[in-house]
Structure 1
Amino acid sequence: MFARGRLGYLFTLSRPRFWLYLAGPVVVGVAFAAETTSELFSLPAVLLFAYFLVPGNVLLYGVNDVFDADVDEENPKKDDREARWRGDAVVVAAIALSFLLGLGLFAVLPARTWPYLAGFFLLGVEYSAPPFRFKTTPFLDSVSNGLYVLPGVAAFAAVSGRHPPAVAIVGAWTWAMGMHTFSAIPDIEPDREAGIRTTATFLGESRTYLYCATCWLVASGAFFLVDWRFGALLLAYPVAVFGIARSGVAVERAYWWYPALNTLVGMALTMGALWVMLYE
């Protein structure tokens, strides 16, 4: 029962609702990189998906919870869909093992993926941990969350043998900035009470909506330069945030709709890439 309790806690800690925030970009990256169906299930593709589906999330959110234990005492999100930090040595060891498994990717993946993997681990750890703790500095907290797209960039590079277009990375990065800052809106009051400064606490709720819409418009514009269909699809995000801001729907409720929106958009991108591979 004790071991099962630990596993249940690690499961909750890893934020299963958000697993595809890291693993989803891998699927999209592989779909756009692959030229044959066999490449979709190549060793690099499988390894990256497996790592970023669970261990990568245990690492990312585990480090976050370790260094936010005091801050999260005032956060109501920890009362239902997430869990307050109550880890012990075994849980800390599981987080450390997730990090070591990630380092193992460097040994089996081509060198062209290394900058993207290194960027993920640096930003993923230092977002929450000292000395940088990016999450406590307005705008750096937002910019550092481009880390979520780096697994997908690494997957594209591993499978295709080349780097993705720079403009696509810019588009994906600004999309992630918008997603992160939108997710920080429900935490504005708890963060202020805890003395934490973020982009959202600095701007306030109404201007944070505008900031998110701006990030997503930039992302859409960047993807228009790659393919107009991608740009049009990304317009779903500024439209959604405008609708939420105008409707009066509580952001605490709307926040939990975004995993579904991200899944639908990611699925559309992936299906489009597969269609091109198979029929064009």
Structure 2
Amino acid sequence: MSTLVRLLRLSRPRFWLYLAGPVLVGLSFGADALTDLVAPLSLALVAYFLLPANVFLYGVNDVFDADVDRANPKKDEKEVRYRGDVWTLVAVVASLALGVALVAWAPAAARPWLVGFFVLGAAYSAPPLRLKTRPPLDSLSNGLYILPGAAAYAALTGTAPPLAALAGGWLWTMAMHTYSAVPDVEPDRRAGIETLATVLGRDRALAYCAACWLLSAAAFALLDPRAGLLLLVYPALVAVVELRDVDVDRAYWWYPGVNAVVGAVFTVAGLWGVVGA
């Protein structure tokens, strides 16, 4: 049981919706009828990106960050450290195998997005690229989080999502990634690891996040002004953190809840279109 608990904690349950959420949004906007949402492939996409994909993504990260994580206090409370246990490796390989099966099952229009997720997910943490240590590629590569949503949309429609949605989503992930790296600035600097956050420093990193989130809101506003207005909550939160002098380490843990609410609004908006149709 302790092994199962460790694997679940490794998968970052607080962040499960960071991958499954985009799938739900993609399905809700790609569906023509409610039956599309409960089709076997749709359910498989949700199930895979809810848990196995997180085991793969964060497992690869923890395996190749083992040395760095020794000095990261976040691993003492919110997460777990990889200590060389074989079950973590087994779980990561099994999750990847399930992902390969999902790629084979998915229609051709969805496969490039799924393959992109696995390639970027591995390249982010694993050598030789290890994009997480190559700013600004560490930020840019985090567009991998929207690729499951693009795959879900393409699986139902046979076409790519609108360019504005892809651009807005990619910018959103770039900001979210750098924001999440701000609490790790000091541990990363002590370990000699460069990220965009360590290069910019706290204040300029937060300004970068606010700028990316503003551009994301502008991109989504091209699709629907209401979507753009909704996404303004993110730069507004950055302003609140600065003006109220809130510790970023504390504010960072607000975002799973904020993201879940924003994602739910997007999903309901998509479903409303399906029901109305």
The TM-score with structure 2 as length reference comes to 0.98
Residue 169, structure 1, aligned to residue 147, structure 2? no
Corresponding position of 1:41: 38
Aligned residues: 277
Residue 182 of structure 2 aligns to a residue whose secondary structure is helix
Does 2:209 correspond to 1:202? no
Cross-structure match for 1:154? 151
What do residues 150-197 of structure 1 show as CA deviations (whole Å, max 9, x unaligned)? 000000000122211111101000000000000000000000000000
- 2:16 alignment counterpart: 19
Question: For the aligned residues, what is the CA RMSD?
Answer: 0.9
Q: Provide the identity percentage.
A: 55
Distance of 1:83 and 1:8 partners within structure 2: 10
Offset at residue 90 of structure 1 (A):
2.4
Distance in 1, Cα, partners of 2:251 & 2:10: 21
Taking the aligned partners of 1:103 and 1:276, their CA distance within structure 2 comes to 32
Task: Quote the Cα distance in structure 1 between the aligned partners of 2:267 and 2:195.
Answer: 33
Kindly state the Cα deviation for residue 106 of structure 1 after the two structures are TM-superposed. Answer: 1.6
* 1:139 counterpart residue number: 136
Name the TM-score, length of structure 1 as normaliser: 0.97
Q: Which residue of 1 aligns with 2:53?
A: 56
Q: How does 1:205-244 map to 2 (within 5 A)?
A: 205-244=202-241
Q: Is the 8 A contact 2:110 2:158 kept in 1?
A: no
Whether the 8 Å contact between 1:191 and 1:197 is mirrored in structure 2 is yes
Alpha-carbon distance between aligned partners in 2 of 1:126 and 1:166, rounded to the nearest angstrom: 24
| Pairing 1:10–2:7 present | yes
CA contact (8 A) 2:24 2:267 kept: yes
Cα deviation 1:181-236 (Å, max 9, x = unaligned): 00000000000000000000000000001000011011111101111111111111
State the AA in 2 paired with 1:45: S
Look up the SS of the partner of 1:131 in the other structure: coil
* Structure 1: stretches of 5+ with no match in the other structure: none
Write the letter of the residue equivalent to 2:28: A
> Which ranges of 4 or more aligned residues in structure 1 deviate by more than 4 Å?
none
- Give the alignment of 1:67-146 within 5 angstroms: 67-146=64-143
User: 3-state DSSP class of the match of 2:81?
Assistant: coil
- Report if aligned partners of 2:29, 2:270 keep a CA contact under 8 Å in 1: yes
The whole-number CA distance in structure 1 between the counterparts of 2:275 and 2:84 is 47
1:230 is matched by which residue type in structure 2?
A
CA shift, 1:35, in A, is 1.4
Gaps of 5+ in 2: none
